[in-house]
Structure 1
Amino acid sequence: MSGRTGRALAEFAAGADLIVIGAHHRAAHLASGMGAFAMDCVRHAKCPVAVVPEHA
C-alpha cells in the first residue's frame, strides 16, 4: 500500500467494525484539531474511528 499512512490504515481496515488510534495530544487539544494521520484515517475509514488522547 502506498500513500499517506492514515489513508493506508483506513484502507487496510476496510472490513473492521472500529479503528482505534492513539493521539499524542491531550483531550483538551484534540477539541481544536487532530494531526494529519488521524484526519486521514477518519476521512477515509469505512467504519467509526476512535481517537484516544494520551493520558485519557
Structure 2
Amino acid sequence: MGILRQIGEYLYIRKKDPNAPRTKWMGYMHGINRISIFMFLAALIFLFIKLVILKK
C-alpha cells in the first residue's frame, strides 16, 4: 500500500481497504498515527500563522 493512500485513509479522505487485515493492535497503531498526523498539521498551521501572518 502506498504512503499517500495510507495518509488519505488516516485523514478520512479515502475509503479504507475492505480486504486489509483488521486487528485490535493495528487499530491502535492507526489511531496513534492519525493523532500524530493531525498534531503535525496543527504545528505547521501554527508556524505559518506565527511566521507569516504575525510577522513584525
TM range (shorter): under 0.3
Which structure carries more helix by proportion? 2
Higher RCO (C-alpha 8 Å, min separation 6): 1
Select the structure of larger CA radius of gyration.
Answer: 2
Which structure carries more strand by proportion? 1
